[in-house]
Each structure stands twice: as C-alpha cells, then as structure tokens.
Chains A and B, each alone.
Chain A
Amino acid sequence: MTGMLTIAVLLPELLDTNGDASNARVLARRAEWAGHDARVVAVNSVIELPEQTDAVVIGSGSDADLETARDVLLTLQSRLRELVTSGVPVLAIGTGWELLSWGIEHGDGSVLEGLGIVAGRAIPRGERAIDDLVISSKYGRLVGFENHARAYTGAEGSPLGRVLSGSGNGSGTEGVVMGEVFCTHLHGPVLARNPVLADHLLTIILARHGAAYAAGERATQVDQIAQAARNQVAVRLGLAPEGDSAGNS
C-alpha cells in the first residue's frame, strides 16, 4: 500500500474564488475510490506544508489579494521548488498559476514579480474573458469555464492544449505544462469535469510510491456524470459530443 497520500491546497482562504480548491478534494476522493488513503491539507503558511506532500493544488483569487497571496507564497518558494524538482505534481489555476510565473503585468505598466517556477508571464488583455473554455490536449478534450482579466505569454512552447472554443492564453493556446506542473485558466472543478487529467495526476502521484493507479468503480460511475456535463457544453458550442470516438483529438 501507499500509506496516506497528502494533497496540499495552498492558501484556500485567499485562492478559492471559483471553487478551484475543490480539485484537491477531487484527487483525494478518486484516490480513495481506487483504494488508497488520502487527505487534503489546507496550507495557509509555510509551517502547515506537510513534510510528505504528494500533490499541490493552488487556485485563483481576487486581484485585491494578489500581493498578499504572493508574499505568503514567497515564504513557500524554496519548498515548492524542492517538490517540483522531485516530480510532485502541481495543479495551478488562474491567479494561482500567474503567481507561479515570472510575473504579472498590470494595465498601468506595473509588474508584480511571481515565484518564477513556471515560464512565461501574465499580461493585460482588453476585456475580461468569461466563457466556456474547451481545449484539445494530449489527455483528450478538456471542458471548463474561464474567467480571467489577463492573457498569458511565454507558454507557447509547452501549452496544456489548443483552444477549440474560448480565449485561453490569448494566442490559440491554453495553459502551460512544465514537468509535472500543470497550469490552466480552466477554473473550478477542472479535475472533476475532466477526470482524464485527474487520473494523469494520480498516476504520477502513485508512481512516486511505486504503485499503479487504476480508477475505482465509483470513479467510473461518477465519470459518466462528468461526461454528460462536458457534452452539454460541447453541444451548446456546436462541437461534437464525446461518446464512441469523439473527444480525443
């Protein structure tokens, strides 16, 4: 067995505007459904980051809290680097991702330095992007919702996927993947809606314990609900529903 798996969710009090923190719960539940013990630990300061951390989730927050969140994250910077270097998967969403980048450029020209853990930086965009976001990725088609005020540049070399509908980074690509760090504008419960991505992360998590991941029976049932929810969005956007062969592209 793998012992207790620990999913750390960073600054959930500041960075959970859209329910992004729930992705930690999604990983823990799916791990449990696969027969492993798992827990979610909320990390609001460096001392709360468990010694043994198996995955990290960081969500999106309000612009008013950006600097406060960044300052707390700076105290976690070296621990985060260690985790990333040792292959612990990280899911970063929205402003959480922006804070891990080189920095955030504001409309007035000022820049908030990021942690420099992933390449690229957030730059102003004309209008806030608020819509469904559908991308094709190597894990399959991912469906979700985006709500962000900035575009992202410098991720063209290794995006999470290509935009099928919505805005994404602003250049036809969406997100960035560096090693096992996955960054996206797909906010809220992206892992529940797109279990292929969840299971990719769980496969990495368990491989680090020398175990293989096989989705539990409950996950298989729940994933049918997720597929129906994704298809509802896809059909509304004029995209082919998943089913027999559609979906992966």
Chain B
Amino acid sequence: MVRYAPAILIGRVVRKLARWRKPGGGSAIPGLIVNRIAPGFLARTLNSFPGGLVIVTGSSGKSTTTKMLVAALRAHGQTVFTNPSTANISQGLTSALLERASITGQVDGDIAVLEMDEGHGALIASTLLPRVVLLTNVMVDQIDRFHDSEMVTAMLAKIAARATEALVSNADDQYLADIAATMVPGVEIVRFGVTTEVLSQSPRGLGYTRTTTERMTADDGVLLTEVDGTRAELRAAGHTHTVRLPARGTHYAVDAASAFAAAGSILGPRFDARVAVTAISAIPPVFGRGEIVTVHGKQVEFVLVQNPASFQLNVDSLEAGTEQILVAIGSDVRDPSYFWPVDTSRLGRVLIASGSKAHDIALQLAYDDVQVDRIETDLAVALDDFLALPDPARGQKTIIFSADSMRRTRAHLRLATNSEEAA
C-alpha cells in the first residue's frame, strides 16, 4: 500500500489548497487528482476493509436505507466508513477516503457501507468485491432517461453480480426478483417485502416499475406487516418488531425493512434485532423528506418530489384533510407532462401554486379537480405569504416542491444547507 503514499500526500495538499481557496468547497478535486495519478487507489482501499464492503443501490431510497444500515451497524459496535450521498462520483468517494486514509492508504474502520448511483456503481463495479449488495427498487426516473427500466436493471445486475456473500433484494420488485434469480449459487439471497395488506394501503402500488404478482411470506425474509403513520411492524425470524420511521410513508418502512435485513445478513450471529430496531428508529428525518421545520415561528413540513413515483407516494401519504398546501415546481422539471400520470386529486385544495412551472402544475391540479386559490410564480413571495398565514386547524403547513424549488426555498428562508440530500 506504500505505493499510494505520494498520491495520498498530493491529494491532501490539493485538498488543503481547495479548502483555502473556497471554504467548504472543492471536495471532488483532490479525489480527481488522486484517481489520475493512482487509479487503483479507490478500489484497493474499498476492498481492504476487514469487515468487507457493502453497496446500497437502486432507483430510490438509497440515502435513507444507507443511513439506517450504518446506524444499525454502529449500534453493534462496528466502525463504519460511509459516504455522504453527494459523493456518489468516484472523485467524491476518493476524496472522502482521503480524509480518513493513513499515509499507507489504510482507512480506519471495520466495514464500508456505500450508497451508489446505479450508473456510477455499474462503471466501477468490475473493480469492487462487495460482500453484500442491497438493491432497493427500480422506478421510472427522470424524463430524459425514460424507456430505461431495462437499462437501469442491467446496471443493477452488473453491481449485484459482484456480491460475494449476499444479495439483499426487494421481493416486491419484479426487475430485482429477476436479478436475484440469476445469482450464482453460494451467494445468499436475503429478501424484504410487504404484505398484501400493506401493499393495498397504497392503491397505486409502491412506485416500482414492475411489481411482482405474489407477496413473500414471513418465512422468506423480513416482512413489513403494518404501517401506521410513522410506526411500522416488521416480522422476521418469528419475531415482530416495532420500528419508528423518520417520516410518514410506506417507502420509509420498506427502507427500514431492507436495512434490518441487510444488518442481519452482515452481522450474522452477532446481530441483535432489538439493537438494530432501536438504532433504525433513531434516524432523524431529513429536510424535504418529511422533516417538520420551524420557520418564522411556524411549523412546516417540506416534501420533495423527485419523480412521478415519489410525487404519487407523497400525495398518497399526506395526512388527510391537510388544509394549507403550497406546491412549487421549478425549472428542473423540463417537461411538465412528466407529472400528469400522477393523480393529485387527494390534495383537494392548494393555497398557492408556485415556481417557474407554477402555471403547468396549476393546470394539472385543476384537471384533477383540486382547487387552486392562487398562482404565484415568484417563489419568494409565495413562501412569505404562505408562512404568514395563521396556523392551520388541520394538518401541518405543507410545502411540496421539486429539487430546484427546494434549493430556492432553502436559500430564501436561510435554512442551513444539509449536504446530505443536495443531490
């Protein structure tokens, strides 16, 4: 490993320079340089953790699942190296490793748990030897990538094929079930999934491009048997566990089930279900993912919609009768047609439609018979007026926004940036 010492030193110097030039910035640049001068550094370091490498990938839920899994492992006394989700690219990952690497290229830690974008993961998969790969789901993503569930599946299959010990996979996702069926003997398939009852609570399904026709049973893996607000019940190995979720929504409960299943597979006999459940239940909500924030003395729930599937899930899991809703869709939604398969009728009434695509989203809401009181393309004005309204009698003040509108909202309300979900 000594051969990486010069590269690591150079990377560190560059990192200092980058920080000096732009505090808090330039984090990808040192990684870029090290990857240039020592191309094997990344894979070699990632493959060298004594407890192995775990990769979490899939269309949606990667961030939450990774956080839950890391928390469960740490609660068992494991030292975990993990990546913030913004560092999905090789450079970012290498930079993150550099922060922690000794001069010989060794990174302290028992185990590495990495969240990976499917595209990036597939690119570097051939150099990695993960012990465990966790696949969350296959959902239809941005419009530019449409027609592409097959392509996403091929990338996930490539990553899954690298697993040496176990594949933790969503039993309700047909594309993932197909991947699981192709795994070589000797790699354990660990399943998580939901019951028919839980599935039927989401009349439009869980957003997977293809949902399997049959549900798994509690004998097949970790089964999500109940979701009620932020409370969920898991059935595993003959026991029932109650988990508290970071926010309302069946998708968070599925994330919890997958993290629980993965922790069990990774820790083997050292796994203590109660320890895992306590750790997973302590995951804080994230801004834009159901976190309730106090702004100008008012409690507000922020809901980020990233694609039609997450838009639908969020509409469906909104507390019934929520009376103060602002919807802001920004220029990141290049083609507003994209959202029209979403049935927004459950919103009932929206006080303000905003963002640069305010008219488009208002038009959709109107055809879903949702009353839209006002269209205000100036998001700053919309936010100020919305926050100034007295507290609602029913439900939280709720702001539903696209990523671009989320960034603008944050900047306008001067909410501290949380690098964790800026991607």
A-side residues, CB < 8 A to B, are 16-22, 25-26, 29, 62-64, 130, 144-145, 147, 187-189, 192-193, 222, 225-226, 228-229, 232
Q: How far is the CA of A16 from the CA of B146 in the complex (A)?
A: 12
Instruction: Decide: B362 and A19 in contact? CB cutoff 8 A.
Output: no
Seed contacts A18-B340, A147-B335; 20 additional CB < 8 Å A-B pairs: A18-B338, A19-B337, A19-B341, A22-B340, A22-B367, A26-B367, A62-B146, A63-B147, A145-B336, A145-B337, A188-B335, A188-B337, A189-B367, A192-B367, A193-B363, A225-B362, A228-B375, A229-B336, A229-B360, A229-B363
Smallest beta-carbon distance A132→chain B, Å: 9
Q: How far is the CA of A147 from the CA of B336 in the complex (A)?
A: 13
B-side residues, CB < 8 A to A, are 143-144, 146-147, 150, 335-341, 359-360, 362-364, 366-367, 369, 375
Smallest beta-carbon distance B370→chain A, Å: 11
Instruction: Decide: A16 and B369 in contact? CB cutoff 8 A.
Output: no
User: Chain B contacts of A192 at CB under 8 A?
Assistant: 363-364, 367
Smallest beta-carbon distance A39→chain B, Å: 14
User: Chain B contacts of A19 at CB under 8 A?
Assistant: 337-341
User: Chain A contacts of B338 at CB under 8 A?
Assistant: 18-19, 188
Tally of A-B residue pairs with Cβ under 8 A? 68
Smallest beta-carbon distance B336→chain A, Å: 7
Chain A residue with Cβ nearest B353: A225
Smallest beta-carbon distance A28→chain B, Å: 9
Instruction: Decide: A145 and B363 in contact? CB cutoff 8 A.
Output: no
Q: How far is the CA of A226 from the CA of B341 in the complex (A)?
A: 18
Instruction: Decide: B367 and A25 in contact? CB cutoff 8 A.
Output: yes
Instruction: Decide: B367 and A64 in contact? CB cutoff 8 A.
Output: no
Q: How far is the CA of A188 from the CA of B340 in the complex (A)?
A: 7
Residue in A16, A63, A228 whose beta carbon sits within 8 Å of that of B359 in the complex? A228
Smallest beta-carbon distance B201→chain A, Å: 21
Smallest beta-carbon distance B212→chain A, Å: 16
**Residue with the greatest number of chain A CB neighbours at <10 A, chosen from B339, B340, B341, B366:** B340
Instruction: Decide: B363 and A21 in contact? CB cutoff 8 A.
Output: no
Q: How far is the CA of A147 from the CA of B147 in the complex (A)?
A: 11
Chain A residue with Cβ nearest B368: A25
Chain A residue with Cβ nearest B339: A19
